[in-house]
Amino acid sequence: MKPVLLCLHGWGGSRESFDPLREELKGTDIEIITPDLPGFGTEPEPDRPWSVDDYADWVESRMSKVEGRMLILGHSFGGRIAFKLAIRRNLKINHLFLCASAGIKYPNRFHITIGLAIAKTGNFFLSLPIINKLKAPAKKILYKALRVHDYEEASPMMKQTMIKVTGEDFKPQLSQITLPTDIFWGEDDKITPISDAHIINDLIKGSRLHTYPSVKHKVHKDKAKEIADIITSKLNI
């Protein structure tokens, strides 16, 4: 029976984001499943704002009948869902692969929360008569400065979903993960900084951290070959 590799994409991504990894795994005896998550790609938005638990429920409902070895790879937002699945243990997961996973919060990393709040109310301030004519370009500058591009581009439903999923801090829960885990991270990642990788590596006992210089947030694409080699080595394929 073929081992199954479930790949969960990041926020704003889709199943196509794993095309480079799929290409590198071509010819191996691995069944690769790369779904569009609800609200992304071809998958409809949820009918209410979802939490990470809701996304984990959705994945579990689709993977509950999988037999044989199951591997889960999560990139960025997909890493949040992978954390949740590993902590719950409702699915029989054999190995966890994390690529620039989101889910670590800091007391002093409040600018993102402030950024989301401003993004929600920004239309009021940017509609003031003095700067009304600069509304569109001003919004782009505002969102770029606060690093909330994904929020700007989301629909009203997905804006509320984004607030819910980013509100959960997985740091207190990661020590509950006992799965064999490999962590892949770009050393120049500005979205999920390399310090997050070390925290995750420390908290998930026995996990192995693989870092890559001059690589940013798209480590799952930029280092697809290296990640594929490690995945296959774990399966002795």
Full domain range(s) for residue 90 = 4-105+168-235
- Quote the pLDDT of residue 131: 47
Q: φ, ψ for residue 32 (rounded to 5)?
A: -100, 125
Spatial separation of the C-alpha atoms in residues 116 and 167, rounded to whole Å: 11
Are both 43 and 92 inside the same structural domain? yes
Check whether residue 134 and residue 44 sit in a common domain: no
For the stretch 40-78, pLDDT in tens is 999 999 999 999 999 999 999 999 888 889 999 999 999
Q: According to the model, what pLDDT value does residue 35 have?
A: 96
| Three-state DSSP state, 170 | coil
Residue 179 CA to residue 188 CA, distance in Å, equals 27
Q: Are 103 and 170 in contact (CB under 8 A)?
A: yes
Do 78 and 181 share a domain, yes or no?
A: yes
Determine the pLDDT at residue 137.
Answer: 62
> Is 204:180 a contact under the CB 8 Å cutoff?
no
Residue 64: strand, helix, or coil: coil
The CA dihedral of 225, 227, 233, 234, to the nearest 10 degrees, is -160
pLDDT value at residue 1? 80
Tally of domains within the chain: 2
Domain co-membership, 126 together with 195: no
- Identify whether residues 85 and 54 lie together within a single domain: yes
Model pTM?
Answer: 0.85
Q: Is the domain of 140 the same as that of 186?
A: no
Tell me, yes or no, whether 229 and 194 share the same domain. yes
Task: Say yes or no: 81 and 55 in one domain.
Answer: yes
Low pLDDT (below 70) residues in the chain: 107-152, 236-237
- Supply the pLDDT for residue 6: 97
Residues 119 and 100 in one domain: no
Sequence-separated (6 or more) residues with CB below 8 Å from residue 51:
164, 165, 168
Which residues are CB-neighbours of 152 under 8 A, at least 6 positions away?
119, 139, 140, 143
Residue 156 in 3-state DSSP? Answer: helix
**Phi–psi pair at 112, nearest 5 degrees:** -70, -45
Query: Residue 34 maps to which CATH number?
Result: 3.40.50.1820
Is there a single domain that holds both residue 55 and residue 93? yes
**Residue 64: both structure tokens together:** 């509950």
**Residue 99 and residue 31 share a domain:** yes
- H/E stretch holding 181: strand 181-186
Helices (H) then strands (E): counts for the chain: 10, 6
**pLDDT confidence of residue 67:** 80
| Residues in CB range of 212: below 8 A, 6 or more apart | 184, 185, 186, 187, 219, 222, 223, 226
* pLDDT tens column, 12-24: 999 999 999 999 9
Dist. CA 115–CA 110, nearest whole Å:
8
